[in-house]
Homo-oligomer: A and B are copies of this chain.
Amino acid sequence: MGMTSSVDTVAELAGVSVSTVSRALRNVPGISEETRKRVQRIARELGYVPSIAGSRLATGKTRTVAIVTPSLSKWFFGQVLAAAGSVMREAGYDVLLYELADEATRGRFFDGPALPGRADGVLILALQPTPAELEALTEQGLPLAVLGSEQPGVPCVRVEDRDAGRSAVRHLLNLGHERIAFIGIEQAAGNTLGGVPPAQRLLGYRDALSEAALDHRPEYEVFEENTTAGGSSAMARLLCAEIPPTAVFVASDEMAFGVLGTLRGAGISVPGDMSVVGFDNHELSGLLDLTTMDHSVTRQGAEAARLLVSALQASETSETTLMVPATLVVRGSTAPPRPLRTRTYSPTKTHNHLTETA
């Protein structure tokens, strides 16, 4: 139980030099099999464990990566983190976790000398790093990989968000909808969430509408924060439109859950009176019977981690951008619009469960 034994102890007991001990224990070539075995046996008997601090100082390598995320409490990031972490662990890297939830901690992270000596590389999730932020990291000699946006000169994995948005809306068009709204993610002030993917989804929505030669109605585009509450109030706003939509494409499943809540509360049946398409394929979407766009969240995390591992091993920077496709998952929240005559919401139809109890 020699908690305090060092290479020297092992060397002495084995009757060899510390160089030999070092070589034996790291399985490097240039040492006889016999010596290696003997040293390894003695080290084991001694309960010797090489000091990480020592080898880090000598090699300059930490065998650790930093994963930077804007949030831990959202489903998406838990999935991504689990997948990425698993890949990193297999590759022999520890993971250091940085949640940069607000601008203050974000600034401290990128300005400060946070990482050299702690991590060999950085995986940035969904943060939309600025060029200056990326440069601050590369200047420190840290290989990077980015998930959720495309950055010049940096390995990225991202989703075909624009195509995905178009696909989602086409599904609604193909069902016969003509009044289709979009509920998007608003970049909240002081929040590090949000960014490019939501914006791309909006563009895809517009693409599909214009390809179908449908009018672009500004009042059909509403934006709220990416929560169920945000989705709820976004849907409520749409219900106040002069001509309400018959379908809505929602940029995230969590918001879509809120949308479903509002509709249920208003007594508007889904998909009878309103079709809803979400985005994420959240673990609870199946239960809520939500039609949604799946974008292989787990795969995104794993691929991003693999890009980082390659970057750590390669000498020069690669510039791969890996595109992950999104696919429609059809469930019960989408259907053709009702024939025109029943599509108006008359007062007698607008009831909810509170009035039912009367």
Contacts and interface: CB of A to CB of B under 8 A. Distances in A.
A132 interface: no
Contact of A72 (B54, B81, B140, B228): B81
Contact of A78 (B77, B95, B96): B77
Contacts of A51: 57, 116-117
A126 to B, nearest CB: 15
A52 interface: yes
Interface string A142-158: 00000000000000000
B99 A82 contact: yes
Contacts of A94: 96, 118
Nearest to A47: B113
Chain A: interface size category = 35 or more
A78 B54 CA distance: 34
B139 A1 contact: yes
A21 to B, nearest CB: 16
A241 interface: no
A53 interface: yes
Nearest to A108: B89
Interface string A31-55: 0000000000000000001011110
Interface in A65-84: 67, 71-75, 77-79, 81-82
A105 interface: yes
A53 B117 contact: yes
A91 to B, nearest CB: 14
Contacts of A3: 139-141
B52 A283 contact: no
A284 interface: yes
B81 A284 contact: no
A261 interface: yes
30 contacts: A3-B139, A3-B141, A52-B118, A53-B53, A53-B56, A53-B57, A53-B60, A53-B62, A54-B57, A54-B117, A56-B57, A57-B57, A64-B96, A67-B97, A71-B82, A72-B78, A72-B81, A74-B78, A75-B75, A77-B78, A78-B78, A95-B96, A96-B96, A228-B283, A228-B286, A228-B287, A257-B284, A258-B287, A261-B287, A284-B284
A64 B82 CA distance: 20
A86 interface: yes
A51 B62 CA distance: 12
A85 interface: yes
A96 to B, nearest CB: 6
Nearest to A66: B94
A-B pairs with lowest CB-CB distance, top 6? A52-B117, A49-B113, A72-B82, A53-B57, A53-B56, A97-B97
A340 B61 CA distance: 72
